[in-house]
Chains A and B, each alone.
Chain A
Amino acid sequence: MKIEPEQESILNGESGRAMALAMKTLVEYGKAFGAERLVSIKSGHLAGTFAIVTYKAYYDILDQMVADGVKVKVPTTTNPRPGGDLNLINRIAFSKQKYLEDCLKSLGVTLNLSCVCYEGPNEPGPGDRLGWAESSAVQFANSVLGARTNRNSILIDLCSAVTGLTPEFGYLLDENRRGKILVKLDVDRIDPSALGFIVGREAVDQVPVIEHFDIDRIGLKNMGGSMAAAGGVALFHVEGITPEAPDLKSVFDGEPDRTITVTQKDLDALRFKEPNKADMLVMGCPQMTYDEATETAGHFVGKRVKKPTWFCMIPEHKERFEKTELYEKALAAGVEFYSHCPLAALTLKSKRKLVLTNSGKCYYYLEGSEYGTLEDCLQAAGV
């Protein structure tokens, strides 16, 4: 790997030990994938915002950076809070939350506290190189915004943010952004979240190209969230929708490696057969945007939920939504609004609770959860 003189001096410890190790981490990380150089990034996004009390190495590395007075070199946002104020067990498990956030603040990180950073202070454009973590945000940046980032881990995200660099390999290079798998659709009712779950499971870590269908920005977010949980997809294309797939011909190099067909039966098979048995409903994983909350809340106006119903929203979008009449109406219907991560919050809740969610991502990670379409969730909520 070619190391620039400035990078070399950081490696040699001239900016302190923590910076030297951060640089060394990126060099070794890049070498494992044959990267030839480190390139500068436009922004960072950190996924490590759940201060789980048992972690050791994570806090130790943060401490070393803070002690050395390290600051991020590029604008850097963070993932949501875990919901530590919900109940006692969460308060204990995440008792290091304030300490963690103080560390991030001293590093100069923007505490937007959302996995949907691109609908806020950190929206990259086509061709921008990034050093992000958070599987769903990585995927949205690559697929929908045409930016370029690998699926970086927590702490790699931080090493990139403080050096302003990422090794050039994988999805930063044109040749790895081409379609591999063609996904054909044989469905009557598209459910983006369920579709993402199935495509993720099938594609694993290859680039899928889904044939054209109607999908909006909210749908792309939710489809991507599922795809990056049930699979390791960092980049997908939708024919005629996403920027690098104007048509099928230009996104594939010749023929796809594999063609799969997703049927209505596949989508329906994910749905929980007895939605009415759910004890609670969770929506917003990745977090809901203002527009999504507006759309979803409309179903609750003038009604009353029979079961606890959570909307988990981007904090800044939630603040804006709280000023609307619709918010008051949804609140009157019994909807609860949060801005923490439902996954982190509910992992430590009583397992006896059966959670129904219209998020494929939440369903994948949350033990004791079941999947339902928005309609299934509304039915279960009794609205």
Chain B
Amino acid sequence: MTTLKGRSVISGRARGPAMITRMPVNFTAALTKPTNAIPGRRAVVKDRHHDLFKKNLKGTVLIFPACIGSTYTGMLLLELMHARSAPVAIIVQRADPLLVSGTVLADVWYDRGIPVVEYESDDIYEKIRTGQNVEVDGETGEIKVL
């Protein structure tokens, strides 16, 4: 079992299969589809510029470099978390205001936030593969590859 140490951004603990991309994610372009906002449904990526195109993010530990694009992002992530269709945890190389807003809003208003860990080094892409089970501790910043 590999253990990596990142920086805690938003606390909480979760476990799920890794979904990895080296491309920055534009959550607005990716997720603005009415079907993604139906409670309990899914979070399918609709951004045709992206290598996660058509992938479902629900229940995954999403690993990516950074957020790009519209300031809808925080609200979209909030809606996904509120509908319980979001990734269960996020590992990002550079945490930005939009990503953090989504989880903070879900936490403060609905107690449905997800853990976020910032892990800067590119070695994350060698140590974790898509589909591997990963446990994230947002309190300590610890990432366990199970």
Residues of A within 8 A of B (CB): 21, 24-25, 28-29, 32-33, 47-48, 52-58, 60-61, 93, 133-135, 138, 150-157, 170, 200, 204-205, 228-232, 347, 364-365, 367
Contact = CB atoms under 8 A, between A and B. Distances in A.
A154 B37 contact: no
A60 B109 CA distance: 10
B96 interface: yes
B145 interface: no
Nearest to B113: A28
Contacts of A152: 71, 74, 97, 101
A306 to B, nearest CB: 27
B71 A138 contact: yes
B100 interface: yes
Interface of B: 9-10, 24, 26, 28-29, 32, 34, 37-39, 46, 48-49, 65-75, 78-79, 82-83, 94-98, 100-102, 104-110, 116
Given A25-B104, A230-B68, 7 more contacts: A25-B109, A29-B97, A54-B38, A56-B83, A58-B78, A152-B101, A205-B24
A153 B26 contact: no
B94 A205 contact: yes
A138 B96 CA distance: 14
Q: Which of A60, A93, A204, A228 has the most CB of B within 10 A?
A: A204
A217 B9 CA distance: 38
A51 to B, nearest CB: 12
25 contacts: A29-B100, A32-B104, A55-B37, A56-B37, A56-B82, A57-B78, A57-B110, A58-B79, A135-B70, A150-B97, A153-B71, A153-B72, A153-B75, A153-B97, A153-B101, A153-B105, A155-B78, A156-B105, A205-B66, A229-B68, A231-B68, A232-B98, A364-B29, A364-B69, A365-B28
Contact of B69 (A61, A229, A367): A229
A228 B102 CA distance: 19
B66 A204 contact: yes
Contacts of A57: 75, 78-79, 82, 105-106, 109-110
Nearest to A363: B49
B71 A21 contact: no
Contacts of B105: 25, 57, 61, 153, 155-156
A29 B104 contact: yes
B111 to A, nearest CB: 11
B108 A205 contact: no
B34 to A, nearest CB: 5
A133 B24 contact: no
Contacts of A155: 74-75, 78, 101, 105
Contact of A48 (B24, B75, B83, B97): B75
Given A57-B110, A347-B32, A157 B104 contact: no
Contact of A157 (B10, B28, B37, B71): B71
A258 to B, nearest CB: 15
A60 B79 CA distance: 11
Contact of B66 (A47, A232, A364): A232
Contacts of A157: 71
Contacts of B49: 364
A93 B34 CA distance: 8
Contacts of B100: 29, 32-33
